[in-house]
Each structure stands twice: as structure tokens, then as C-alpha cells.
Amino acid sequence: MQRTQSELNFRLQRFVAIIAVSLFILKIIAWYLTRSVAVLTDALESTVNVVAGFISLYSLYVASKPRDKEHPYGHGKAEFISAAVEGSLVGIAGIVIIYEAIDNFIHPHEIQKLDTGMLIIGATAAINYATGWHTIKTGKKHNSLALIASGKHLQSDTYSTLGIIAGMGLILLTGWIWLDSAVAIGFAFFIIYTGYTIVRSSLAGIMDQADMAMLEKLVARMNENRRENWVDLHNLRIIKFGSVIHVDCHLTVPWFLNVQEGHEEVEAFSATAKTEFGESVELFVHADGCRDFSCRICNKSKCSERKHPFTKRVEWDVHNISNDEKHGSENSVIIP
């Protein structure tokens, strides 16, 4: 399944790269016809789309490779590097646009055929948005940061294009040529901010920053489907390697279960996690035997080995399951 998802991601990114080249050509034609710096702004951002599209394509190719001796966790981190490069290129494009717009303020030139230019880049905006929406949807489904970054980039390009079309419309109505540069500068800052958010997300992945939203989904699923032999859960961590999610944790089960019974509880735990994240999740579950103090948080019925009466069930949350400490122990503050 993992391999199939990687191949689908690669095919989609290849389509995105082809679209990026086609739209770049259309925008260059629009700029040649209009000589508008705002349209040039759109075309410059599309050059980034082209470069970033092929970088993402290569990263997905690398990420789709199976794990080997040198890369025991696979090659998924390549997606984070790709997204970081793409975000940086987006920011650089924004800076170049600001420079061109300021230069146009100082040395203004005549604009022509704005109506034709509006039609051309309007068509590119519609195509960009549809492609970006589908790319983000697929990226979220397959947990691919490279696809999500590409989709967000395409949608930011759409928003900037719509703003440029609005600015060109105002120029047609008012004849104020300076609006051309003003519109370009305004959307350049928007483009820079988009690049910043992409870089920030990719660096978080490279540094293995905890994904709190993902943790909350997993913990909620475990609480909803909790079995009576799942006495406790602690030291849970999630790491993303491209489209693959690695989860490791300690699951406390009754100490008197035999190996097969303990394995069945671990398998049930893993199956529950996969109902939330699909087959892209890999779980490494360490089974701990319960201790005397665990009785206070264990509501297992008909337990012949119980040492203490049940006091209260611990509702797992992203905070108490992340600690490397069993609940109910002397150092735990869960049980009053």
C-alpha cells in the first residue's frame, strides 16, 4: 500500500509539473502582449512553480524508493527537503517582484492589451486553483508534505493572479498606471508569507516536531475503542517520514497474559490506529506488564490478581500519554 501511494503521489506531481510549464508559457504570452509589471509578477512566480514542480517530482521519486541498509526508515525525509527548497524559492520570487515593481514606479512604461491579458491569466488562475485543490486533497490523504506544499503554492498563485486581474481592471477603469506596481507589491508580500509557511512546515518535519493535531486524532481513537486489557498507555511518539507515519509507545497490559494473548492486544491496538491513518502508519508497540499500583486505574472485570480497588480510569490525552511514566505510580499525579 505504501508503494502504491508513493507511485500515485509521483504521478500526480508529474502532472502538476506539466501544468506548471504550460501555464508559465501562457503567462509569458500575456506579459508580452500587455507589458504589465503585474503580469510579469505572475509570470515570475510561475517560473518558481516550474522549478519547484520538478524538485517536488524528484523528491517524490526518491521518497518512493524502498528502505535499504543505508536508509532503514526509507527516503521519505526527501519530501521535507523539497518543501523547504520550494518555500525558499517562493520567498525569493516575492522579493524579485518587489524589486521589479519599485523599478516600474521609477521608470513607468506604457501598458497595452489589458483585456486580452486578463482573459489569458484568468484562465491560468482557474486551472491553477483546480490543480492545487486536487493536489492538497491527495497530499492530505497520503500524508505527503511535498504534494501539500505544491498544492498550497498553486493556490497562492491563484489568489495573486485574481488580485492582479482586479488591479488590471482598475487600471482599465481609471487609467492609473501606478496601480500596476502597487498591485504587484501587495501580492509580492502575500507570496513571501506563503513561502514562509511552507518552509516552516518543512523544517518542523525535518526536526521531528510533534504533530499535535495528529496526536489528538490518535488518542481520541484509542479512547473510543479502548479494551479492558489496555491498562495504560505512555511514552507515545509520532514521527513522519514523508507519507509514512511511525508511532512508538508503551502499552501496559495485565502481567499474567501469555505471549500470544499479549500479542493479540498489541495487534488490536495497531489495527485501531490504522483505522485512523490507514496502512501508511507503522507501529512499534512495547508491551509492559501491569504493576500493583496499576490496579487503581484498571477497570478489568473479574481480575483474580487485583491488589487494590479500582479508583478511576485515566482518560488519555496528548499530555499524559507522552510522558515516559506509568500512570498510577507513586510519582504520578493522575490518582489523588
**pLDDT in the model for residue 89:** 77
Please state, in angstroms and rounded to a whole number, the distance separating the CA atoms of residues 278 and 120. Answer: 41
Would you state the cell numbers that stand for residue 164, as one nine-digit string?
492582479
Name, in order, each residue with C-beta under 8 angstroms of 334's C-beta and a sequence gap of 6 or more.
Answer: 297, 314, 320, 327, 328
Pick from 181, 189, 184: nearest CA to 104: 181
The domain 2-206 is placed in CATH, from the list 3.30.420.10, 3.90.950.20, 3.40.710.10, 1.20.1510.10, at 1.20.1510.10
The residues of the chain that CATH labels 3.30.70.1350 are 210-336
**pLDDT in the model for residue 15:** 84
What residue type is 15 in one-letter code?
F
**pLDDT in the model for residue 181:** 76
The residues of the chain that CATH labels 1.20.1510.10 are 2-206
* DSSP 8-class letter at 335: -
* DSSP 8-class letter at 241: E
Strand arrangement of the beta sheet that strand 244-253 belongs to: 232-241, 244-253, 281-289
CB atoms within 10 A of CB 174: 9
Distance of CA 157 to the CA centre of its chain: 18
Question: pLDDT (tens digit, 0 to 9) for every residue of the chain, 336 residues total?
Answer: 444 566 677 777 788 888 888 888 988 898 888 878 777 777 776 776 677 677 667 766 666 666 666 665 555 566 667 777 777 877 887 887 788 778 777 877 677 787 888 889 889 889 989 988 988 888 877 766 667 777 877 787 787 778 778 877 888 788 787 777 787 787 778 778 877 887 877 776 665 555 677 778 888 888 888 898 998 888 888 777 655 677 888 999 999 999 899 889 989 988 888 777 666 677 888 888 888 888 888 888 888 888 888 888 888 888 788 777 777 665 554 443
Model's pTM, two decimal places?
A: 0.55
Please state, in angstroms and rounded to a whole number, the distance separating the CA atoms of residues 178 and 172. Answer: 12
Q: Are 165 and 43 in contact (CB under 8 A)?
A: no
CATH architecture for segment(s) 210-336: 2-Layer Sandwich (3.30)
Three-point CA angle 323, 328, 330, nearest 5°: 90
Interaxial angle between packed helices 178-206 and 78-106, expressed in degrees from 0 to 180 and rounded to the nearest 10: 160
Q: Are 283 and 248 in contact (CB under 8 A)?
A: yes
